[in-house]
A and B are shown apart, each in its own frame.
Chain A
Amino acid sequence: MPDLTLQYTNELDPQHSCSKDLTVEEDKQTFYDSLKHQVRALQEYSNAFFTEKMKYETKIDVPEEQPIML
């Protein structure tokens, strides 16, 4: 069965790496529906995982969104 996978490593903190595998249905009729579902699932996992890691990070290199001033 084909897998959608994510592997993460931090060179500065290699002990806290992670790996996530999500199985995609092999049947051609349902493959793309299954892949879309798993892409969303992996996106949710990724957002939750890195949001947690952000709690221990002081570096801010992504500015907060500013409202558009008209």
Chain B
Amino acid sequence: MEPLPHKVEIRVPFPSEQDAKLCMQVLAPDRELKEDHVARTLSLDGNYLIAKYFCSSARMTRVTLNSFFENLHLVVDSMHELCSL
């Protein structure tokens, strides 16, 4: 296992605890492709989704976070569309 010195915490607000929990449930099943270079935890703090990443390098951190933001944007966009129905 590689050392993982690069630590990132992202806090994402939602209108309610239920919405935050729903987003976490959608994101949780997808595992990181390089689990020896990236570790991830997802948790809730009230109506906030907390994503913590531990990465082996700046390059790995950039790639990992870019993927996370893409997925997050997709989930948030979907939740927005469904809420408007």
Contacts and interface: CB of A to CB of B under 8 A. Distances in A.
Contact of A4 (B7, B13, B65): B13
B58 A54 contact: yes
Contacts of B70: 43
Contacts of B31: none
Given A7-B8, A42-B69, A43-B69, A54 B62 contact: yes
Contacts of B58: 50, 53-54, 56-57
Interface in B31-64: 34, 37, 47-48, 56-63
A1 to B, nearest CB: 9
B27 interface: no
Interface residues of B, number: 35
A8 B7 contact: yes
**Most chain-B Cβ atoms within 10 A of its Cβ — which of A46, A50, A56?**
A50
A2 B5 CA distance: 29
A38 B69 CA distance: 10
Nearest to A46: B65
Nearest to A35: B76
19 contacts: A2-B48, A4-B11, A8-B7, A11-B6, A11-B7, A32-B15, A36-B80, A39-B73, A46-B66, A47-B62, A50-B61, A50-B62, A51-B62, A54-B59, A56-B58, A57-B57, A60-B59, A61-B37, A62-B57
